[in-house]
Amino acid sequence: MSLPLWIAAWALLLHGCAAGRAPQAPSTRSDIRDCSAEPPYLPPTATNSTARLAVLRGILRTHGVHAYIVPSTDAHMSEYISERDARLGWLTGFTGSAGTAVVTRDKAALWTDSRYWTQAERELDCNWELQRTTSIESIATWILKEVPAEGNVSLDPFLFSIDTWNSYSRALRGSGRTLLPVETNLVDQAWGDQRPPPSSSEIYSLPAEFTGSRWQDKVAGIRQRMEQHARRPTAVLLSGLEETAWLFNLRGDDIPYNPVFYSYTLLTNTTISLFAEQSRLSQEARQSLRSGCPGPLCVELQDYGQVSAHLRRYAQGNVTVWLGTEYTTYGLYAIVPQEKLLEESYSPVMTAKAVKNAHEQEMLRAAHVRDAVAVIQYLLWLERTVPHGQVDEFSGAQRIDAFRWAQEHSRGPSFESISASGLNAALAHYSPSNGSSRTLSAREMYLFDTGGQYLDGTTDITRTVHWGEPTPLQKEAYTRVLMGNIDLSRLVFPSNTAGRTVESFARRALWDVGLNYGHGTGHGIGNFLSVHEWPVGFQSNNVPLEAGMFTSIEPGYYQDGDFGIRIEDVALVVEAQTEHQSGEKPFLTFEVVSLVPYDRNLIDLSLLSPEQIRYLNSYYERIRAHVGPELRRQQLEDEYVWLQESTEPFAVSSAGSAAAGSLALAALLSVLLSGLGA
Amino acid sequence: MSLPLWIAAWALLLHGCAAGRAPQAPSTRSDIRDCSAEPPYLPPTATNSTARLAVLRGILRTHGVHAYIVPSTDAHMSEYISERDARLGWLTGFTGSAGTAVVTRDKAALWTDSRYWTQAERELDCNWELQRTTSIESIATWILKEVPAEGNVSLDPFLFSIDTWNSYSRALRGSGRTLLPVETNLVDQAWGDQRPPPSSSEIYSLPAEFTGSRWQDKVAGIRQRMEQHARRPTAVLLSGLEETAWLFNLRGDDIPYNPVFYSYTLLTNTTISLFAEQSRLSQEARQSLRSGCPGPLCVELQDYGQVSAHLRRYAQGNVTVWLGTEYTTYGLYAIVPQEKLLEESYSPVMTAKAVKNAHEQEMLRAAHVRDAVAVIQYLLWLERTVPHGQVDEFSGAQRIDAFRWAQEHSRGPSFESISASGLNAALAHYSPSNGSSRTLSAREMYLFDTGGQYLDGTTDITRTVHWGEPTPLQKEAYTRVLMGNIDLSRLVFPSNTAGRTVESFARRALWDVGLNYGHGTGHGIGNFLSVHEWPVGFQSNNVPLEAGMFTSIEPGYYQDGDFGIRIEDVALVVEAQTEHQSGEKPFLTFEVVSLVPYDRNLIDLSLLSPEQIRYLNSYYERIRAHVGPELRRQQLEDEYVWLQESTEPFAVSSAGSAAAGSLALAALLSVLLSGLGA
């Protein structure tokens, strides 16, 4: 669900960096299209979109539409989408995760960010203009040029956020063009029976041992928040898929990597309506939901498609509907009259879910211990096999997935593994594909950003390693990224501090020498839910940090065409012990729950302060204490030895020249003094 | 102009800290009102508001109004207001700078933040409820309780920001009450001929040597920004007083401390309309403005009161009006149809003004050198006179004002001096008054936050001193505040970084031990303009930092009922020299232009890192280089000696125990070795 937001920060910054590039000269590469050639050249990876466009344009004419906007997300603003919702991909051939297409009666264009420009040139045919930006302003300007005055610009309001709708609306205002919501999706009409069917797999109850609390208690908690709110909302509308999954302790597999299912919930002060395909619910799940019937804890099951009609009826009463504007679609939002809406960035379910209770914290910690075992197995395996030149990015990614699958409670990867060697790692979100994958080598750095779904928790970790001789710049950059990770992880800060006001601590060591990275510094994470879980994190639309929240901390550095570094850990926000205390609430700090050592080969200890080294040593002690016994339990003796070696404490005296000199001098002095005494 | 925004941050945070306090028990103090006594007790400082309220209520009835909202600002959202605009003060008796009053047919209430609660209890009579919050939600809730359904809630739309209007509008929406703008100010009607007349003093041209560029060049620059904007605005509307003053290089004295005059400007692509009292313009100013007539650089002078009518006529055309939503009133804003508005937070005049050109930078630097002379004179004078017990907060403030007045180009203080001894300094914005002023003493800390207006620049500096034996907590807190000031001042950061993302560097040293401060970390400053100049600073509605901007850096610490610390410098954003460079633009850092040493008596050197000490020493070198010669030129020999003593370099080896040990050991070792060699 977080893609449009989380990715937006990457896109924005990456776009910023790339904006100054000169337009490309006609290409001589055979893997990308060349539409200026005669005849146009298309690589085999391109999709022929002519027939699809023709069908869609016929439909546009029927509806009196002059331009149709097609986004990349689904009706729940999901980060990952099902094949059935891959409308942009079907229409254009472009398979990147973020983009917007606009089709007019005679033109078609695709907007995407710099991560995907090359990919788009490989996948689009010459029906499509590629627009190297993602700004709505750019899309709107193009539309104003291509659509006649008095023309209709149309979109499916159930696929656009409130903000995006408003941006288009503002941009077209006063131009004579009308922004026309059409509730039937026109791409779906064109797609017809070729469109994949809806998922029919089971929606199941999470076993009690893996839930933080009973769904009835969660519902009671949300109703309490409703009562305590000054506006006294009568209902909460949930459209984020993990909202419903979390609230009812249900899971499904409609979306890759995220164990959720298509659903909406309307929770009122007296009733509960869950909109999902009833037949897909397991018997146990159905029993659980119906256990409070009749009564205020009875869940009425309704068809997924009924949500709009039901909400429309409900909104006719004397009601106030609370919803999260960051991820509710304009389509749903527009159903409720303005004065009956309680608009906040996030629903109370989102904010309740963000603060993990003691049991959820314990589960996430436990999942990270097993996850560390898998990552350590992978690191040792790489150390042994990379020198033989038999691992490539793709087989590496398969291997770590396999290590994770072997761990207890595993339910597979939590996102598409990033496994990137050498220059590929400079593309911050690179994922290898079978067949076009770089071989890992002791001469290059290797970055892997991977995570697992476990019944008790979701994990996400990035390590960057070098098995040979790193360059001075690689070592300096790695060390500074690590210093940033440490500086943010050990930061003590007041309760209720916004993440965006502290994320620069993860950058300062890089900034000091003129380096930086073009993406966000972290995101929340769920208990067997989304790997990018809003609203926790370090961006401007995240909520303030509170004890019990989990966030990733992931500074990086990317040297274009050369190498990439990222060091990512998941950390729990905990109360700090401070000498004094301003304010009524204890200060906070982080407890890092990812438990995998960093690459000693890449650390320049002389750059670290004594405080940073002491922090590192205490972190390594915790790794030993938590992961060591688990490695033994799993009889992974080699890994155990590897862990001991990799977590040897660093000498604090190595930090800085002054301190190092001090210890050396002291040693020398004691020799001299003993000599004098003799 | 910045009060509502700058102060809001204080208020919010202070309110946050104070929110948990228990309600006060009935008071036995004689300096505040006691409305529960029989008969109610009023101190002599209270104002009898009965007659004024009666007149106002009569007017409300005539207009069919059930509740009238009275703010503390003027039609330009000014931070300081003229007597003529002190409607809240006249109506209530309350003289604090921030508050909102609401008068219904039988009740009256005043909302203000924690800085002013005691003051309000001293100044209000028992007609007024005091509401200890400033949230619009609280005001709206009160109104909903007091105003009958179908009632009219009214206000003067020319005294409220767009945001505030929208907040009231949202809060009342669907409640049956109508938010009714009444363009005639009803308090003014009640005030009648007792209301002070408008200013009649001269509006004058700034001498050419004190301007950054000719006004014609500024106008051309703004018109260029209009042409380059995607929306192609045809006009810019200026309602901030310093916008018009800056654009035309004009100054006046309508507002205390800020050399501005009541005005609006409508700058179109072909015409320029300046709305101000024509008769008040000096002949020179008038000549300058008319020098380009007829033509696109001809300034048409129109009466101040004509702006609404003129804007209404202009908005009938095929036009787009660009305005800054952060400080334009709802009244003006509502004149222009929505589709003809280009709404941005700040006008291009505000953003152009924020980046000082080379000459403006030189002027601000020069003003700060002379200002440092005055502050150093004051510090030395305090050192000599405080031990005799003959200085109090008020006479101290008068003394530093006098030192400033004696400097070249001085035009008086840039804001009401904060001069606070002992526990008074814990009230972050305390100003002393004659008669109730604390005597300065070598047993207490003393904080003074003062600034000057000079023809070439505006200054603002805070120093905290102790002439005796500070407590360990005072010394630790002072040192940590200083460390925060240093850490932010020496920060290297990428171009285009938002201030809010780096301001925590000024807090970390305090956070480390659980301390913090409840106000913002800095604000922009002008060239002989506002001391709080938007949109530069470290808050969320500030624009990203760019080379050429000036901002204050002012961390603090306040121990309730005991002492207060703030260390404030003004700094220029400059390009940094870095080893590497990510991105296309050079990294940035700060050059501190306030040139007054800190109190050595309060610095615990063992807390500072070697980098912090090195920074401090290089800053002190710059103070000596710039202020030393000026002290000599002004024949201030004692001050010169004082400066040399106060800027003696600190031994870097004193930092931290390890480094100190290292040097000591080295010294000892060299003795031993020489002994061995002998």
Interval A527-550: pLDDT, tens: 999 999 999 999 988 999 999 999
**Closest CB from B492, B513, B515 relative to A511:** B492
Interval B423-474: pLDDT, tens: 999 976 677 877 778 999 999 999 999 999 999 999 999 999 999 999 999 9
Whether residue B661 and residue A661 make contact (CB cut-off 8 A), yes or no, is no
Q: Mean pLDDT score of chain B, rounded to an integer?
A: 92
Whether residue B503 and residue A501 make contact (CB cut-off 8 A), yes or no, is yes
Structure tokens at B576: 């940094």
Kindly list the residues from chain B whose CB atom is less than 8 angstroms away from the CB atom of residue A661: 662, 666
Q: Which residue of A has its CA nearest to B672?
A: A672
DSSP letters spanning A541-570 = TSPPP-TT-EEEE--EEEETTTEEEE-BEE
Q: Which residue of B has its CA nearest to A676?
A: B676
The yes-or-no verdict on residue B664 having pLDDT over 60 is no
The yes-or-no verdict on residue A657 having pLDDT over 80 is no
**Closest CB from A500, A513, A673 relative to B500:** A500
- Alpha carbon of B587: minimum distance to chain A alpha carbons (Å): 6
Whether residue B516 and residue A583 make contact (CB cut-off 8 A), yes or no, is yes
Per-residue confidence band for A17, with pLDDT thresholds at 50, 70 and 90: very low
Interval B550-589: pLDDT, tens: 999 999 999 999 999 999 999 999 999 999 998 889 999 9
As a whole number, mean pLDDT of residues B399-416 equals 97
**Closest CB from B493, B653, B669 relative to A669:** B669
Whether residue A609 and residue B609 make contact (CB cut-off 8 A), yes or no, is yes
Looking at residue B571, its pLDDT comes to: 98
| Distance, CA of B267 to CA of B650 (rounded, Å) | 54
Kindly list the residues from chain A whose CB atom is less than 8 angstroms away from the CB atom of residue B494: 511, 516
- Own/partner contacts of A63-66, CB < 8 Å, gap of 24 or more, are A63/A154, A63/A182, A63/A186, A64/A152, A65/A152, A65/A153, A65/A154, A65/A180, A65/A182, A65/A186, A66/A104, A66/A105, A66/A147, A66/A148, A66/A151, A66/A152, A66/A153, A66/A177
**Closest CB from A581, A659, A661 relative to B514:** A581
Residue closest to B59 by CA, chosen among B176, B150, B184, B179: B184
Percent of chain A with pLDDT over 90: 84
Looking at residue A678, its pLDDT comes to: 39
Per-residue confidence band for A335, with pLDDT thresholds at 50, 70 and 90: very high
Kindly list the residues from chain A whose CB atom is less than 8 angstroms away from the CB atom of residue B501: 500-501, 503-504
Whether residue B514 and residue A662 make contact (CB cut-off 8 A), yes or no, is no
Check residues A174 and B37 and name the one with the higher pLDDT. B37
As a whole number, mean pLDDT of residues B161-165 equals 93
The yes-or-no verdict on residue A110 having pLDDT over 50 is yes
From the candidates A342, A512, A545, A673, which should be mutated to test the interface with B, based on the most B CB atoms within 10 A?
A512
Q: Which residue of A has its CA nearest to B339?
A: A174
Looking at residue A673, its pLDDT comes to: 52
- Alpha carbon of B663: minimum distance to chain A alpha carbons (Å): 7
Per-residue confidence band for B3, with pLDDT thresholds at 50, 70 and 90: very low
Q: Mean pLDDT score of chain A, rounded to an integer?
A: 92
The yes-or-no verdict on residue B117 having pLDDT over 60 is yes
As a whole number, mean pLDDT of residues B388-401 equals 96
Residue closest to A221 by CA, chosen among A341, A365, A357, A359: A357
Whether residue A672 and residue B668 make contact (CB cut-off 8 A), yes or no, is no
As a whole number, mean pLDDT of residues A572-590 equals 95
Q: What is the pTM of this model?
A: 0.90
Kindly list the residues from chain A whose CB atom is less than 8 angstroms away from the CB atom of residue B340: 174
- Alpha carbon of B181: minimum distance to chain A alpha carbons (Å): 20
Q: Which residue of B has its CA nearest to A477?
A: B580
Q: Which residue of A has its CA nearest to B583?
A: A17
Per-residue confidence band for B672, with pLDDT thresholds at 50, 70 and 90: low
Q: Which residues pair with A67 in a beta bridge?
A: A104, A153
Looking at residue B645, its pLDDT comes to: 98
Q: Which residue of A has its CA nearest to B229?
A: A137
Per-residue confidence band for A623, with pLDDT thresholds at 50, 70 and 90: very high
**Which amino acid type is present at position A43?**
P
The yes-or-no verdict on residue A11 having pLDDT over 50 is no
Kindly list the residues from chain B whose CB atom is less than 8 angstroms away from the CB atom of residue A173: 338-339
The yes-or-no verdict on residue B662 having pLDDT over 50 is no
Interval B587-634: pLDDT, tens: 999 999 999 999 999 999 999 999 999 999 999 999 999 999 999 999
The yes-or-no verdict on residue A43 having pLDDT over 70 is yes
Whether residue A582 and residue B493 make contact (CB cut-off 8 A), yes or no, is no
Strands B556-559 and B563-566: what pairing? antiparallel
| Distance, CA of A631 to CA of A634 (rounded, Å) | 5
Whether residue A669 and residue B672 make contact (CB cut-off 8 A), yes or no, is yes
The yes-or-no verdict on residue A371 having pLDDT over 90 is yes
Contact in structure between A662 and B662 (CB atoms under 8 Å): yes
Interval A55-97: pLDDT, tens: 999 999 999 999 999 999 999 999 899 999 999 999 999 998 8
Kindly list the residues from chain A whose CB atom is less than 8 angstroms away from the CB atom of residue B339: 173-174
Looking at residue A552, its pLDDT comes to: 98
The yes-or-no verdict on residue A656 having pLDDT over 70 is no
DSSP letters spanning A462-478 = EEEEESS---HHHHHHH
Whether residue B500 and residue A503 make contact (CB cut-off 8 A), yes or no, is no
Kindly list the residues from chain A whose CB atom is less than 8 angstroms away from the CB atom of residue B540: 540
| Distance, CA of A161 to CA of A166 (rounded, Å) | 9
Q: Where are the beta strands (DSSP E) in B183-287?
A: 204-205, 235-238, 250-251, 264-268, 272-275
- Alpha carbon of A656: minimum distance to chain B alpha carbons (Å): 9
Interval B525-543: pLDDT, tens: 999 999 999 999 999 889 9
**Closest CB from A173, A514, A653 relative to B578:** A514
The yes-or-no verdict on residue B295 having pLDDT over 50 is yes
- Integer Rg of chain A from CA: 27
Asked if omega into A39 is within 30° of 0 (cis), the reply is yes
Whether residue B511 and residue A500 make contact (CB cut-off 8 A), yes or no, is no
Element (H, E) at A290: helix A283-290
Whether residue B515 and residue A141 make contact (CB cut-off 8 A), yes or no, is no
Whether residue A504 and residue B508 make contact (CB cut-off 8 A), yes or no, is no
Percent of chain B with pLDDT over 70: 92
Q: Which residues pair with B569 in a beta bridge?
A: B553
* Number of helices (H), then strands (E), in chain B: 20, 27
As a whole number, mean pLDDT of residues A16-29 equals 44
Interval B463-509: pLDDT, tens: 999 999 999 999 999 999 999 999 999 999 999 999 999 999 999 99
For helices B637-646 and B610-633, the axis angle rounded to 10 degrees is 170
Whether residue A672 and residue B669 make contact (CB cut-off 8 A), yes or no, is yes
From the candidates A142, A489, A511, which should be mutated to test the interface with B, based on the most B CB atoms within 10 A?
A511
The yes-or-no verdict on residue B278 having pLDDT over 90 is yes
Looking at residue A2, its pLDDT comes to: 28
Whether residue A511 and residue B491 make contact (CB cut-off 8 A), yes or no, is yes
Per-residue confidence band for A114, with pLDDT thresholds at 50, 70 and 90: confident
Whether residue A511 and residue B493 make contact (CB cut-off 8 A), yes or no, is yes
**Closest CB from A340, A513, A658 relative to B662:** A658
The ipTM estimated for the assembled molecules is 0.89
- Alpha carbon of A495: minimum distance to chain B alpha carbons (Å): 10
Whether residue B230 and residue A516 make contact (CB cut-off 8 A), yes or no, is no
Kindly list the residues from chain B whose CB atom is less than 8 angstroms away from the CB atom of residue A230: 137, 141
From the candidates B166, B665, B674, which should be mutated to test the interface with A, based on the most A CB atoms within 10 A?
B665
Looking at residue A435, its pLDDT comes to: 72
Structure tokens at B238: 């200026």
Kindly list the residues from chain B whose CB atom is less than 8 angstroms away from the CB atom of residue A653: 658
Kindly list the residues from chain B whose CB atom is less than 8 angstroms away from the CB atom of residue A473: 580
Q: Which residue of A has its CA nearest to B18?
A: A583
Per-residue confidence band for B677, with pLDDT thresholds at 50, 70 and 90: very low
Interval B332-386: pLDDT, tens: 999 999 989 999 999 999 999 999 999 999 999 999 999 999 999 999 999 999 9
Contact in structure between B510 and B484 (CB atoms under 8 Å): yes
- Alpha carbon of B413: minimum distance to chain A alpha carbons (Å): 33
Q: Which residue of A has its CA nearest to B661?
A: A662
Looking at residue A18, its pLDDT comes to: 34
- Alpha carbon of B666: minimum distance to chain A alpha carbons (Å): 7
Per-residue confidence band for A428, with pLDDT thresholds at 50, 70 and 90: low
Looking at residue B432, its pLDDT comes to: 80
Whether residue B491 and residue A500 make contact (CB cut-off 8 A), yes or no, is no
The count of CB pairs under 8 A between chains A and B is 134
Kindly list the residues from chain A whose CB atom is less than 8 angstroms away from the CB atom of residue B504: 493, 497, 501-502, 504-505
* Residue A166: CA count within 13 A, CB half-sphere: 8
| Distance, CA of A488 to CA of A570 (rounded, Å) | 12
Check residues B57 and A114 and name the one with the higher pLDDT. B57
The yes-or-no verdict on residue B149 having pLDDT over 80 is yes
Kindly list the residues from chain A whose CB atom is less than 8 angstroms away from the CB atom of residue B500: 500-501
**Closest CB from B17, B540, B669 relative to A665:** B669
Looking at residue A170, its pLDDT comes to: 87
Check residues B19 and A98 and name the one with the higher pLDDT. A98
